[in-house]
Structure 1
């Protein structure tokens, strides 16, 4: 494994940062910034692969399945980070999008050495979640060779779950055990092998795309507004009121009053105002429209 590691793009030396150890602070920052600008272009190159992953996830959600992110170290933490943002942003059940990482929850704040080297550990954690063929599993590993991820993806695929391998190296080992691979080649890191840098940034961007696109396809946006935002504090309540105002054109007072009548459900409040219906009637309209606000309103206007 050591010999193969040296051949990975993520482990090669970046010629633009060879002298970074003697550079002035601003020069270090410029080098890093110039390298970071390459990340978005690398992500652009793999958009068709990301689209395939989005389709897997969307289909899983339609069947009542889940999206499971899985990884070790920085890769695992990025999956957890994306997963925990879905309930407040899209009012999803915490079970719908989950992030698990080698070493368990404690590994999020403190490294658990050796956990990533056990392929059976990833399998046991997916079994504990009751993984089914309705779910989609996205294995994340910058190197593309993490045994924990390989074992998990192989098991997930064996039971019929959709699988995606996200890495930063060509012909990655995890790509061979997944239905779809996303190999985003960001090039050597500014600090050799420190994949929390460009590789981590690329993976964060792609996870953002996968979860956000899937939620939009589920009808959790109206134009570019978060109509399924979970109103759990005053800031989010104010945001919800603003969303209602932008879509319906009503006053602040009217938006607030309707939001409260709708039990803080933004979609319901919008449909109540746009169709002049009661809360119960608006909920029925949304149910018949599978949660799509525009469709619920249009069904009344026909």
Structure 2
């Protein structure tokens, strides 16, 4: 595949930045900013493909499965970043959304040379996770040709897991190995081949969309509020109190009392207040409503 590298859009030269090496700082920044503005439009073009990925993840979550991100280098790091933000934002088990990358955890801070060139490592990493057919695997590679990702996607499909290939090139090699491809074409990078720039930005936007949309669909939001935020520090406790007050209209003191009585479970505290029930009764209502706060509240009003 090496001989075809220069044919990729992600490796082509950007006509708008040909003189960037002699530009002054503000002009460098202006060029980068103008190019970055193209990213959101490129993402807009692939929203139907992203929606298909969200449906896979939603079904996985409903069936007790997981979302697994997988990639090498920047692509792998973006997957890990999105995964580790899910527990504090949505109170999910760390196992529910996971990010793995070629070379393992040490590769997050320092590149592990050659790891991405071995498809068998992608297979072994998924086997180590105990991948099942209920899981969804999203392979990320800006070039769309990373052997580590190809091997992983091939294995995931072979056991019946849903697979998504996320790249920044048309007709990407990894697209052929997935149930759903997302090829977001952001055009040549400001620095030729530096896919941590526009490609990385596009991929971060899409991963944010996939995880957040999937969490909303399984009841992790009330209107646009994070009602399943994990209260692990004072800042998040204050945020939780604010969320409770916005939804219920109670005083700060009442919100704090309900939050503490609920065991720092924001959903439970909201249902307690809105339905005038205790912790045990509110928890029961939430279970019966499959975790959806609005449904739990409405079930009492009906």
TM-score with structure 2 length normalisation? Answer: 1.00
> Are 2:293 and 1:296 equivalent residues in the alignment?
no
Residue 118 of structure 2 is matched in structure 1 by: 118
| Offset, 1:283 | 0.1
Residue 16 of structure 1 is matched in structure 2 by: 16
> Are 2:98 and 1:98 equivalent residues in the alignment?
yes
CA–CA distance in structure 1, aligned partners of residues 119 and 174 of structure 2: 12
Residue 215 of structure 2 is matched in structure 1 by: 215
Residue 52 of structure 1 is matched in structure 2 by: 52
| Offset, 1:3 | 1.9
CA–CA distance in structure 2, aligned partners of residues 131 and 2 of structure 1: 31
CA–CA distance in structure 2, aligned partners of residues 60 and 219 of structure 1: 14
SS in 2 for 1:224: coil
> Are 2:88 and 1:88 equivalent residues in the alignment?
yes
CA–CA distance in structure 2, aligned partners of residues 108 and 244 of structure 1: 37
Residue 249 of structure 1 is matched in structure 2 by: 249
Name stretches of at least 5 consecutive residues in structure 2 with no aligned partner.
Answer: none
SS in 2 for 1:6: helix
Residue 66 of structure 1 is matched in structure 2 by: 66
Q: What count of residue pairs does the alignment treat as equivalent? A: 302
Residue 206 of structure 1 is matched in structure 2 by: 206
CA–CA distance in structure 2, aligned partners of residues 109 and 230 of structure 1: 26
**1:4-26 alpha-carbon deviations (Å, 9 max, x no partner):** 10100000000000000000000
CA–CA distance in structure 1, aligned partners of residues 2 and 279 of structure 2: 63
TM-score with structure 1 length normalisation? Answer: 1.00
CA–CA distance in structure 2, aligned partners of residues 57 and 130 of structure 1: 17
**1:56-76 alpha-carbon deviations (Å, 9 max, x no partner):** 000000000000000000000
CA–CA distance in structure 1, aligned partners of residues 289 and 268 of structure 2: 12
Name stretches of at least 5 consecutive residues in structure 1 with no aligned partner.
Answer: none
- 4+ residue runs over 3 A deviation: none
CA–CA distance in structure 2, aligned partners of residues 4 and 227 of structure 1: 48
CA–CA distance in structure 2, aligned partners of residues 255 and 266 of structure 1: 10
**1:147-202 alpha-carbon deviations (Å, 9 max, x no partner):** 00000000000100000000000000000000000000000000000000000000
Residue 144 of structure 2 is matched in structure 1 by: 144
1:123-272 equivalent positions in 2, closer than 5 A: 123-272=123-272
CA root-mean-square deviation: 0.3
| Offset, 1:2 | 2.3
